[in-house]
Amino acid sequence: MKNIFSFVKFPKLSTQSFFQKAKFMNGVHWLYPANMVIVAAGYIYLFNSQGQLPDSVPLFYSLPWGESQLAPSYYLWGLAHAALLLLIFNIVLSFIEFTKNNFTLSKFYGYVSLASCGILISYLIRIITLVEYYPVVFPNWVKIIAIPLLAGIIVTSLVTPFVIRFARKYGFMDDPLRHSHPGMLLKHPTPRTGGLAYFLGLLIPSLILLPIFSSQKLVGIFLAAGLCVFMGLKDDKKDIHPVLRFLGQIVVIFIAVLSGIILIYIPNPFGTAINLDYFRYTFEFLGEHTVYYYSALAAAVWIGTTMNFMSFANGTDGVYAGLITVASLVIAILMFQSLPLDPDIAIFAKLAAISAGAGLGMAFFTWPPQKLLWGFGATSAGLVIASLSILGSTKVAVMLIVLIIPFLDGIFAIMRRLRRGQLPFWGDREHLHHKLLEGLRWSKSQVALFYWGTTTLFGIVGILTSGQARALTLAKMSVIFILGIALLNFVKKPKNL
């Protein structure tokens, strides 16, 4: 039987053409998914508005004579269908030019599709909001979690290709031939500015969706995270001494704590909560101010621990994006559940959802084989997650469950290095991901799936449990993974690695 696709003739693919195609795909793989999200949003919004629209709508509302040029409301479906047809048409044209190795023209069709679909869908939504009898009321979870999550994904997907170009142009690269870090797993030079991409994916949607400048805590989070990214860029360009990096972390932690991110109490599942606000100092300076010693110290220790222990897991493709996505989403869900008791927490729930979207957007670029490294700027994500977990009453305990693997891995790393007489900041090649890769011979994709899967499982456990059940679950998981990590120490590395 003849192959039904035998009539399709593809050009022969030379080695040079292969690398050109690979480079092209790295640069535009986000375009059409973004297009599809925009078109789907238009269809969903129009479907939700059915029943709220008059029989006739001003289809050309933007022209001076537009209000008198009415059309049946079902014509609005024509705008959505036109956007979909344009998307399909541009995909076909882009594919044809791609097979001819006309990469510039193929990319051009992708951008044309993005612009035209965006204009048509914006036009559609604008008409609906002008004429509907009652505004479409979205459920709270859509406004607080879904929309910020989607915004984080879209913005991160859009800005990351530009961050990659910036890294290549200005030399923010990690070259395994020049960088002799013991935990190095790279095989070829790779851009190292992932922390910047995450931060922009977090900041840009937040400027639109959150009242940043009216919240001291939000200002503190973004200022501290921005300094983490700045330090990361300095380290990406030229390695900073670990001690200087540690001192820099003390500064950013101080900024976060000074903005009011402190632990007032520690939940105790077996009794009353442990209050940390007994020891305080009140003074007058342009008003009355109170410093809570133990609350500030506990918050500083938690933020610093989370930043570094999460960073320890940032050693291979795809893992770190999973930790950020799941941890942030779990915080957002728990904060959403707390809204009836604390309505003011909504802005932090939105920030957590944006962080989850930014992490998921980064997964497109860091999944094996990764096109972008996080670099030291990855600590900005750890700072955001630690700060958000403090702002919820029991989120710290949940984060201990969600991030149990990187936390235990970090504890083992510190003990291992201190036993050898090394500073805890010095790297090695004995983290859990190294043992899975080199001891069990897992692929990078398998390691990434392991972290994503286990973190998601622990996130579900954290959401569904509370009190003593949560504490006992944490204890059981700790014992299991301590035994697992201990057993991996008996697995010998293959000699060819």
pLDDT of residue 494: 45
What's the rounded mean pLDDT across residues 116-127?
86
**Mean pLDDT for the stretch of residues 280-308:** 78
What pTM was estimated for this model as a whole? 0.75
With helix as H, strand as E and coil as C, how does the chain read?
CCCCCCCCCCCCCCHHHHHHHHHHHHHHCCHHHHHHHHHHHHHHHHHHHCCCCCCEEECCCCCCCHHHCEEEHHHHHHHHHHHHHHHHHHHHHHHHHHHCCCHHHHHHHHHHHHHHHHHHHHHHHHHHHHHCCCCCCCCHHHHHHHHHHHHHHHHHHHHHHHHHHHHHHHCCEECCCCCCCCCCCCCCCEECCHHHHHHHHHHHHHHHHCCHHHCHHHHHHHHHHHHHHHHHHHHHHCCCCHHHHHHHHHHHHHHHHHCCCCCCEECCCCCCCEECCCCEEEEECCCEEEEEHHHHHHHHHHHHHHHHHHHHCCCCCCHHHHHHHHHHHHHHHHHHHCCCCCHHHHHHHHHHHHHHHHHHHHHHHHCCCCCCCCCHHHHHHHHHHHHHHHHCCCHHHHHHHHCHHHHHHHHHHHHHHHHCCCCCCCCCCCCHHHHHHHHCCCCHHHHHHHHHHHHHHHHHHHHHCCHHHHHHHHHHHHHHHHHHHHHHCCCCCCCCC
The pLDDT score that the predictor gives to residue 482 is 67
- Percent pLDDT > 90 in the chain is 22
pLDDT tens digits for range 447-487:
889 889 888 988 888 888 766 666 676 677 767 766 666 66
Q: What is the pLDDT of residues 215-237, one digit of tens each?
A: 899 999 999 999 999 998 888 77
Domain boundaries, the chain: 15-137, 141-488
**Residue 294 binned pLDDT confidence (cut-offs 50, 70, 90):** confident
Q: Provide the pLDDT for residue 16.
A: 47
359-370 residue pLDDT tens = 999 998 888 888
